[in-house]
Structure 1
């Protein structure tokens, strides 16, 4: 069962909700119900992409489609599309017919019945904004941390692509954006992990980013999350890869920002490898960090001295430990 992938807007649909799910049998009902509880004065549709789960997720979404056939359209590929969920994500987005698109993953949910209405009102009133988002609470399923705000800082009321390139402060489940801001996804999009961040950047080329200071959603961190389930080292490598793709795609317009952010990611990688006892890779990425900062000598010298000091102190301690054992 496939949704119609027409790019034209359906004037009767104000908002399309792109809901992507895979092996979310524990969570998907809560995600769908959090959409159905919305109190709105417009029509909306749910485009639900189920990426051939190995659990009962598909049975659950078909059951909901049977109950709400006029509200829910399904995308049900006959095999898992892979690419860390990017292919099914793109399919759901292309099937959306509304003026605005809201995002929700099958393991997250909304907590405020006025969420969609408030975001629609915001975008209707702020034509300079391509995107708007709001606060969400991060929950750690294993109980390792207490629930906390998604961001550890207060986002600006209005942000730009320059801010977004420095870090992804937009929770996926809080996103609403104007449909049709760019023509096609880049051909490299399927090969990345941070698809939501890249989508935000593609959209933010065409308008500003508005922030609604209200907690209206829940982001769930668990071991099976595509990004949150990765090691810190793997996450950093994935982010660096995105920066490399984005820099070329944006024709190096924001090269200085990208260069600095890559340098700091190399610094984080060096320290992560150091913490794992891999001092060779720690040195390798410390050098990469230094090379990117050469054009900014004062900042570069401070960063690299601190970084190499931490790495080589660890290396000397490891060497002395080996001597003491012999």
Structure 2
């Protein structure tokens, strides 16, 4: 176990040293097929990708793993780094290079890699984040092997702000619970760079909801939590690097609210009915936020629709609130 000084304001921990390919494969024994597929989505990550790949390749496991790099038509040299590493680690790294940006066409990066994954488990980590311990995969696979009904294994991460070519620790994300269910996921944020997902569960989620719900990281957490609980490795395993250029952090607040409403509406309409009350309450809060703050600019043509949807969910929210209040008086 590496020792980290993760006090806020301290420099971010770096990934472990980079081994050569023969050294990695020598640990695997006779197994040929990868047990874990590490899926790394990249877009203009030229400053960061080497750290991510170094963290992947430093994993010390007794089982084979593969690394799938999918670049979504970067324009900054990210592809050159991916090619360089693939040439040095040809038995481990596979690459997918899109000629045109697919995210702008509605294609989510992580689900796009699932059909290419050969492992029984899928580990996610985008190209601007990275792993900082060598036993992440080994420990997470062991936990999932002990918990057959769990959909994935998560862990703790340290949030680091990247400015002026330096990363500085800000806070730690995660919880001390061993298992997390849907109720926990509503309150606790677990970062994508820590995910180890059962591939068959991921495919089941895609088969059931693709085209109905957009497969963002948030959506994936909700859907997998409905399929089975998460088991947690209660250790810090990764750095979540906040650059301001991520898919979420680069959006203006109005666009973030628009996206949250779209996602919540899709869950309200298409997800397990037992969670409709939760998403109804969420939509009430989001539409109220728009109306109270006067944020019409992102969708002026939809202002009337927003108001009507707000009334719809407000009635549901207050009807439930009044009913529970009356019930408490009766008791």
TM exceeds 0.5?
yes
Residue 35 (structure 2) pairs with residue 14 (structure 1): yes
- Whole-Å Cα distance in 1 between the matches of residues 58 and 193 of structure 2? 15
| SS at 1:52 equivalent | coil
* Equivalent of residue 190 in structure 2, options 170, 174, 190: 170
* Equivalent of residue 247 in structure 1, options 268, 272, 278: 268
- Cα distance, 1:114–1:66 mapped onto 2, change above 3 Å: same
- Cα distance, 1:117–1:272 mapped onto 2, change above 3 Å: farther
How far apart are residue 210 of structure 1 and its match? 1.6
* Equivalent of residue 200 in structure 2, options 162, 167, 180: 180
* Equivalent of residue 146 in structure 2, options 125, 138, 144: 125
| SS at 2:273 equivalent | coil
Partner of 1:256: 277
| SS at 2:160 equivalent | strand
- Whole-Å Cα distance in 2 between the matches of residues 132 and 85 of structure 1? 28
- Cα distance, 1:93–1:272 mapped onto 2, change above 3 Å: farther
How far apart are residue 289 of structure 1 and its match? 4.6
Uncovered stretches (5+) of structure 2, i.e. residues with no partner:
1-30, 323-331
| SS at 1:293 equivalent | helix
CA RMSD of aligned residues (A): 3.3
Residue 313 (structure 2) pairs with residue 292 (structure 1): yes
- Cα distance, 1:40–1:249 mapped onto 2, change above 3 Å: same
- Cα distance, 1:86–1:108 mapped onto 2, change above 3 Å: farther
Residue 158 (structure 2) pairs with residue 137 (structure 1): yes
| SS at 1:170 equivalent | coil
How far apart are residue 78 of structure 1 and its match? 2.4
- Cα distance, 1:273–1:122 mapped onto 2, change above 3 Å: farther
* Equivalent of residue 70 in structure 1, options 82, 91, 94: 91
- Whole-Å Cα distance in 2 between the matches of residues 235 and 167 of structure 1? 19
Given that residues 273 and 282 in structure 1 are in contact (C-alpha distance below 8 angstroms), is that contact kept between their aligned partners in structure 2?
no
Give 1:78-157 correspondences, 5 Å limit.
Answer: 78-83=99-104, 86-142=107-163, 147-150=170-173, 154=175, 156-157=177-178
What TM-score comes out, normalization by structure 2 length?
A: 0.75
Partner of 2:287: 266
How far apart are residue 287 of structure 1 and its match? 7.7
Equivalenced residue count is 286
What TM-score comes out, normalization by structure 1 length?
A: 0.76
Given that residues 233 and 272 in structure 1 are in contact (C-alpha distance below 8 angstroms), is that contact kept between their aligned partners in structure 2?
no
